Amino acid sequence: MGVAKMKYLNVYGPETVLMNTLFAIARAGTFAPESGEAIHSAIHIGTNRIEPVLTKAKGLLKDLGYSSLAQEYTGPTGVYKLDEVAAYIEKYAVEVARRNQRKIAIESELEVQVKTEGLLSHMTDLDISMDELFQVETLKLRIGRLPKNSYVRLAYYAEKGFNFTSYFNFIVYDFDGEYYWGLYFAPRDSAKDIDDIFNSLYFERVWVPDFVQGKPEEALETIRQREAELRRELAEITTPAGIASEEELARIQEMTAWLATVNQLYDMRKYALVFNHTFYISGFVPADDYPAFEALIESIDTVHIKEAEQKQELPEKPPVKLKNNWFSRPYQMFTEMYGLPTYGEIDPTALVSIIYSVLYGVMFADIGQGLALGLVGYFFMYKKKHLAIGRILTRAAIFSVIFGVLFGSFFGIEGVGEGLWHSMGIDFLPFHVMGASNITLILLLAIGIGVLIMTVSMVINILTRFRRGMKGEAIFSPNGIAGLVFYLALVFLVADGMLFGTGLSGGWWYVPFLVVIPAVMMFLQEPLSQLVNEGKVHLHNGVGDMLLSSFFELFVTVLEYLSNTVSFLRVGGFILVHAGMMTVVMTLAGMASGPVYYIILVIGNIFVIALEGLLVGIQALRLNYYEVFSRFYDAGGIPFTPLRIIPDAVEL
């Protein structure tokens, strides 16, 4: 548990099998190149000729109606040649381009045909050839529609003497409820005046295309036949089967997957060092994955693997991969948000999982609300939305239920299980949060939890510093042995004076040995640490600067001890707030009766779960970050990022 142990390896072999080796490494997904950065390679990468072909292949598949690749390439990298693939893709790309041009032409013609069909659908009552209408040389023909209100106003222009029998001889052939569809003739020498009059009546002119011939009904039938032909042709040219067979389409997809894979492998070549036609790749593999990785590499002819034997051969900062049990694993998200531990440092995830869950449960103690939160976290947030926080809430909800049992709270109803506890002879349970004598006890217990958590954090810091050879910091720092003794001595001094009254803190030896000496050790941390770590003292800025800075640092340390401890009062505060809010909900519900009682109860619980569930989660995380991590955790690790083929890279 914690940080996974790493093995530092060198993989080497002939340059001719570099791509195959990279492919095997990437498919394994367990090898991270040294430092996660490209090595200054002797390979001349040059221009990437694969990427433009891949772009064209993706575009081809998209034009053929595919949204993503249906397969991942798993075959050998040398099965295809780039030039052959490029030529194969180009052949179908040219055909698709030709069909796309034809598609544009068909859609344009189809748009005209549809508009003309709509126009002629109003002219089916005209029993005259369109050719004859347009062959009248002495008159100008206008076809269109006139608003219903404007149509009746044509009578006002009858006395103008135009050559029409009535209503200016506007020949109506259809009425759709809003417009009269029709036509009129105008002598060529009077056409402008007549057009102006009709324009003032909001006449909307339409143009009949030249291809319309014969009577409107006959032309309409011809147009409908042409539309059907165009739609059939459009369906044919947009169907992938019309361009390539199923086998050819499958081959295009496989080639595209191959291009996507090889393109990524091409970029991975920067991690290899080539000398005398032999490649060398250095990196890390988790110790648990090493046997399988070794077998994979050895299965490639002429490629070998060598593990670093001497400690000095290892890089300064190996990458970090967290390894935790099923309960703690979701909490790795919190650790990663703060920063990964350095290799060899203690992974705080297990500690976080315990502290976060307990604090969340104590501040959100309710059987029913805990169950509801757990169900929402698991089924909605984790299963449906795939949010990692869902698994954390599920675990925290378990502790909410546990403390809900101890507090006897079920959706705000207090005293649940009281008879059961008393029957077992446990009279102090369930614990009544809002009891007058319990409020002070809750706040004191919250402080006690804070002291315990800070003590554990300091002990972890001491062990970590000793483990890393930092003896001076482990002994003299505010979070080392001196700081721990000083802090616990002050805590016991206050607690003994206010609560216990044992008199132990009043002994002549207590303050000098447990308070003053540790304070002096922290004050002189810099020279004492240098003496322990290096065997000599060398103050860079002189004694005066050291004394001044040490004084202020000690003063800040004492204030931090106080503020960090007091901040755990928030835990007690949230316990009381949660109980208080549910008391308000129950009071409001008690003022109603019937269905209204249950409505208020449900809405109130939903509100409390949503609001307090969020606030308690934030508070528990804050306490972990500021009161726990700050005591022992450096968070300077490099994430373990193995080489692998990224599926997203082959999305179209």
User: Among 116-120, 163-167, 321-325, which stretch is predicted with the lowest mean pLDDT?
Assistant: 163-167
Q: What is the pLDDT of residues 618-639, one digit of tens each?
A: 999 999 998 888 888 888 888 9
Q: How confident is the model at residue 167 (pLDDT cuts 50, 70, 90)?
A: very low
Range of lowest pLDDT (70-79, 116-125, 236-245): 70-79
- Give, rounded to a whole angstrom, the gap between the first and last alpha carbons of the chain: 40
Instruction: Give the model's confidence band at 38: pLDDT under 50 very low, under 70 low, under 90 confident, else very high.
Output: very low
Q: What is the pLDDT of residue 151?
A: 80
- Quick one: pLDDT at residue 163? 41
CA angle 601, 606, 607 (to 5 degrees): 100
Q: Looking at the predicted structure, is the pLDDT value of residue 193 above 50? A: yes
> Is the pLDDT confidence value at 145 over 80?
yes
Rounded distance between C-alpha atoms, residue 485 and residue 78, angstroms: 67
Quick one: tokens of 37? 């950065």
User: Does residue 3 surpass a pLDDT of 70?
Assistant: yes
Question: Which tokens in the block code for residue 427?
Answer: 């009279």
Reported as a pLDDT band with limits 50, 70 and 90, residue 648 is low
- From residue 213, how far is each of 131, 221, 226 by CA, in Å? 6, 11, 14
Task: Give every CB contact of residue 143 below 8 A, 6+ residues apart in sequence.
Answer: 182, 183, 205, 206, 207, 208
pLDDT tens string 349-360: 999 999 999 999
Q: Could you give the percent of the chain with pLDDT greater than 90?
A: 19
Q: Is 55 or 166 the better-scoring residue by pLDDT?
A: 55
Q: Which residue has the higher pLDDT, 156 or 179?
A: 179
Strands 278-286 and 413-414: unpaired
Please, are residues 338 and 629 in contact by the beta-carbon 8 Å criterion? yes
Looking at the chain, the domain(s) classified CATH 3.30.70 span 128-214
Work out the angle between the directed axes of helices 246-268 and 82-120 (0-180°, nearest 10): 130
Q: What is the pLDDT of residues 564-622, one digit of tens each?
A: 888 899 998 898 998 889 889 888 888 888 888 889 999 999 999 999 889 999 999 99
Confidence (pLDDT) at 171: 74
Dist. CA 649–CA 256, nearest whole Å: 11
User: Which residue would you say has higher pLDDT here, 168 or 412?
Assistant: 412
pLDDT at residue 499 greater than cutoff 70: no
Can you give the pLDDT at residue 71? Answer: 64
Q: Report d(CA 56, CA 52) in Å as an integer.
A: 6
| pLDDT-derived band at 522, boundaries 50, 70, 90 | confident
Instruction: Give the model's pLDDT for residue 165.
Output: 36
Average pLDDT score over residue span 257-261: 87
pLDDT in tens, 419-459: 787 778 787 778 888 777 788 888 889 999 999 999 999 99
Across residues 70-95, what is the average pLDDT? 79
Q: Is the pLDDT of residue 310 over 90?
A: no
Q: Is the peptide bond before 639 cis (omega within 30 degrees of 0)?
A: no
Whole-angstrom distance, CA of residue 20 vs CA of residue 77? 6
Is the pLDDT confidence value at 164 over 50? Answer: no
Q: What would the pLDDT profile of 273-309 be if each residue is shown by its tens digit?
A: 888 889 999 999 999 999 999 998 888 888 899 887 6
Determine the average pLDDT of the residues in 131-146. 77
> Does 44 score more than 60 pLDDT?
no
Enumerate long-range contacts of 79-84, CB under 8 Å, 24 or more apart: 79/258, 80/255, 80/258, 82/49, 82/50, 82/53, 82/262
Q: For residues 196 and 191, what is the distance between their CA atoms, to the nearest angstrom?
A: 9
Q: How far apart (Å, rounded) are the C-alpha atoms in residues 176 and 573?
A: 74
Stated as kind and residue range, the H or E segment containing 563 is helix 542-566
- Which CATH code fits 128-214? 3.30.70
Average pLDDT along the chain: 82
Element (H, E) at 145: strand 139-147
The pLDDT of residue 414 is 83
Residue 165 or residue 22, greater confidence: 22
pLDDT number for residue 647: 67
**Whole-number pLDDT of residue 375:** 94
**Is it the case that residue 400 has pLDDT exceeding 90?**
yes
Of 401-405, 412-416, 646-650, the poorest mean pLDDT is in 646-650
* Residue 166 pLDDT class (50, 70, 90 cuts): very low
What pLDDT score was predicted for residue 315? 67
pLDDT of 470: 83
Average pLDDT over residues 510-532: 82
Point out the least confidently predicted range of 10-24, 156-170, 456-470.
156-170
Percent of all residues in the chain with a pLDDT value above 70, rounded to a whole number: 88
Q: What is the pLDDT of residue 549?
A: 78
Res 411 pLDDT > 80: yes
Half-sphere exposure of 504 (CA within 13 A, CB side): 12
Whether 313 shows a pLDDT value over 80: the answer reads no
State residue 377 phi and psi, 5-degree precision: -60, -40
Q: Are 391 and 330 in contact (CB under 8 A)?
A: yes
**Rounded mean pLDDT, 85-96:** 86
Q: Is the pLDDT of residue 320 over 60?
A: yes
